[in-house]
Amino acid sequence: MPASEPDVVRGSPARSSATTTKSASCCAVARTALLDTTPEPAFDRLTRIARTLVGAPVALISIVDRERMFFKSALGLPEPWRSRRDAPARRSFCELVVTSGENLVIGDARIAERFRNNPLIHELGVVAYLGIPLRAPAGHVIGAFCVVDPHPRAWTDHDVAWIEDLAQIAETEIVLRHAAEHDPLTGLANRRQFARAVGDALNAAAGDGPVSSVVAIDLDRFKSINDRFGHAVGDEVLKIVADRLMRVVTFEDLVARLGGDEFAVLVAPSRSAADVEHLVCRLHAAIARPVVAGGRLLRVESSIGVASTLDDVFTVGAADRLLARADAALYDAKAEREALQAVPRRIATAAGNGVKVQPHLPAVFPGRARASSNR
């Protein structure tokens, strides 16, 4: 039985939701860390099954960012799109799926008034299109699982059901991937994802490529919070700090919890040295605000060190070396603060190693709880 006339947009009762805002969607896309990643068998297997089940020549898993859609899996696409693995998001059918949060079923885009002037009809050969929303673990729509035919066709209810099922499997794969690369307590990227992102940044910086910075952050004397008030309070503090860090950075930056009380930020290459310095000050100020946790008012102190990809090249172990240089700057800052307790907050530069050091505010300072925001 046909699922639609040539031009139908409809939501699946089991999967429809309120329209996802573009900003929230892009933040969710960034957190998946799927953009610009290499093809993976787990996703390619699903698009291969989709092509076989519905008899369509093209099957895609499309992740939609602000300006473009990235094809995590793309089977049957013509060149140059097959090699590029991305295309402009504006006016794309996949973007419509993301903004509506509903299934998009098109039998013949050439005769549908809403779509007949869409350039993708000729550029990508999109005449018949069936797209199902893909949702991130938090529920935001981040892309579409779609099948495409360069010829008109009437998609059947079975076609829609098959692609919905495969979309759900793709979402499960994204959830598993997310769990493997994110810290379960804070939801931030974990060390594994951060190290890979740093390696990619070093690779991009080779030659005359863009320069990224790594910011290493350590919560000073955090152990005393766990010892005095228990690990539940300590965990609450870590989650509050993680939330504050995320509110300071942009969606282009990557924030990670490397373990214990250690955090790190991979700063987007679009930031200037002055921007990075300003970011460090804002990160420090965000952490320094009093924290309400476990019915107590706590003040958390941080040490921060910065290193740049400008001073290294992409070789085996380069990502670890860059993180080690940021950590070295961090511990220099910590040692300087401990030696000079009365020194006001400032930023010093360690000559000769391209590393900036941030000394800090007073010590962990427990007190009584008051009506105070953690944000």
Cα separation of 193 and 191, whole Å? 6
Of 195, 309, 196, residue with least CA distance to 258: 195
Beta bridge partners of 27: none
User: CA-to-CA distance for 41 and 86, rounded, in angstroms?
Assistant: 18
| Residue 39 CB coordination number (10 Å) | 13
CB-based contact 43:167 (threshold 8 Å): no
**For residue 345, what pLDDT is reported?**
39
* 220: amino acid identity, one letter: D
Pairing assessment for the beta strands 262-267 and 104-106 based on DSSP bridges: unpaired
Q: Please say whether the beta carbons of 64 and 98 come within 8 A.
A: yes
Angle made by CA atoms 229, 232, 234, in degrees to the nearest 5: 65
Over residues 331-372, the pLDDT tens digits come to 887 777 665 444 333 333 332 333 333 333 233 333 322 333
pTM of the model: 0.66
Per-residue pLDDT reduced to its tens digit, 247-284: 999 878 999 999 999 999 999 887 888 898 899 999 99
Alpha-helix runs per DSSP H in the chain: 22-32, 41-54, 81-84, 93-100, 120-123, 157-181, 191-205, 222-229, 231-248, 273-288, 318-339
Q: pLDDT 10s per residue in the chain (375 long)?
A: 455 444 554 544 444 443 446 677 877 887 787 888 889 999 999 999 999 999 999 999 999 988 899 999 999 988 888 889 998 888 789 999 999 999 999 999 999 888 888 888 888 889 999 999 999 888 899 999 999 999 999 999 999 999 999 999 999 999 898 888 899 999 899 999 898 888 888 877 776 667 788 999 999 889 999 999 999 999 999 999 999 999 999 878 999 999 999 999 999 887 888 898 899 999 999 999 999 998 889 989 899 998 886 655 445 466 778 888 888 888 887 777 665 444 333 333 332 333 333 333 233 333 322 333 344
> Which of 323, 302, 303 shows the shortest CA–CA distance to 312?
323
